[in-house]
Amino acid sequence: MEEIALERILLIQTAFIGDVILTTPMIAALKGSLPHVKLSVMVKPEAKSLLQNNPHIDELILLDKGGVHKGPFGMLRMIRQIRKRKFNIILSPHQSHRTGILCIFSGAQLRYGYETAGFARFAYDKLLKRPPGMPEILRLLKFLDETLIAGAENLSTRLQLFETENSFEEANTILSLHQAKLPVLMAPSSIWPTKRWTPWGFAELAEKIINKYNCTIFLIGSKNDISVSKDVMNFVNLLLPEKTQEKIVDICGKTSLPALYSLMKRSRLLVSNDSAPVHIGSAAEIPLVAIFGPTVRSLGYAPISPASTLAELTDLECRPCGTHGAKTCPLGHFRCMKSLSSDDVMEKVIEVLEIKKQESQQD
């Protein structure tokens, strides 16, 4: 095979926002090791705001699966965009069949992907094994190690998001408006219903945190999560005293993703279901309690920062019941979330805040 020039590389990661954030160490390692390469990264439109200020990316390509790139003609439109750029190499840790089709017709000289990916035998020139039981960040660096950059799996695992002047101002406006200093953030939603802890659990936990730390609590999420945050607020209003209710503020759907990152950098703690806020919080290096129900750490998507931990029931034989969660519990009892108490989660809150306190004292 003739030698392939390292001039134009496309990295495809069109999965969920959390997956995109977990790819940022791979992006930094790639550009840091090959600074002369023009690096293009393909993501879905909703991830654009988190990556558009990333200095390691030369070009963002947006794959709008539900819009302009929907269906066969949309795929053809994207294939033409890719072929026009004449990429030398494509790196595709994303395993969908759609990505496989894009790679098959990309015109790229060399294509790397997992052997378990859709249409893998036709889409990729070199097939890689996707190691189980490894944090996704390390899996992605290993992908790079086995393709273009020897030793990449030993490079930094730090997630990289970048503040902007607008995100800084937006976060500060929220803090000033509610006179909140070092608030606690709660992310009660997830795309998958089985990944959502109970709304009454969040309400009870909010009361426990306020009683111990005397702080403001913000409920966070996207516009798609508003109904879930309202469910939590219904229990807040039903279960908690008025003075406590006043310290719980629903800002779900009222922040951009970059502003949410800036807000996390100015907050005391994040409690979140297994969803994108966990990874935004990890990038912000905020003390973090991630609530895991149908998923488990060994799948690779748990936070790995020191001041982070999981709140979970470890004695359920039915866990995990899937890689991403589901719409309903396969067994119908949903014990992984319903049996997880606010006391269980509060114990983890105290644990990570103590870790953060010890870190600060050492500094």
Give the residue from 126, 154, 182 where a domain finishes: 154
3 part of a folded domain: no
Of 70, 69, 48, the residue nearest 60 (C-alpha): 48
Predicted confidence (pLDDT) per residue in 151-171, tens digit: 999 999 999 999 999 999 999
Q: How far apart are CA 289 and CA 213, in angstroms?
A: 16
Q: Are residues 216 and 356 in the same domain?
A: yes
What average pLDDT does the structure give for the chain? Answer: 95
Give the residue from 133, 154, 175 where a domain finishes: 154
Give the residue from 107, 123, 154 where a domain finishes: 154
pLDDT band of 343, cuts 50, 70, 90? very high
2 part of a folded domain: no
Q: Check whether 188 has a pLDDT greater than 60.
A: yes
**Average pLDDT over every residue of 57-65:** 96
Q: Are residues 329 and 185 in the same domain?
A: yes
CA angle, 106 then 108 then 112, to 5°: 100
Predicted confidence (pLDDT) per residue in 243-286, tens digit: 999 999 999 999 999 999 999 999 999 999 999 999 999 999 99
159 part of a folded domain: no
Q: What total number of domains does the chain contain?
A: 2
179 part of a folded domain: yes
pLDDT at 363: 66
pLDDT at 336: 97
Q: Check whether 228 has a pLDDT greater than 60.
A: yes
Percent of the chain with pLDDT over 70: 99
Q: Are residues 289 and 146 in the same domain?
A: no
Residue 253: CB atoms within 10 Å: 15
Q: Are residues 236 and 110 in the same domain?
A: no
pLDDT at 1: 43
Q: CATH number, domain at 31?
A: 3.40.50.2000
Q: Are residues 146 and 202 in the same domain?
A: no
Domain that holds residue 263: 165-362
pLDDT band of 34, cuts 50, 70, 90? very high
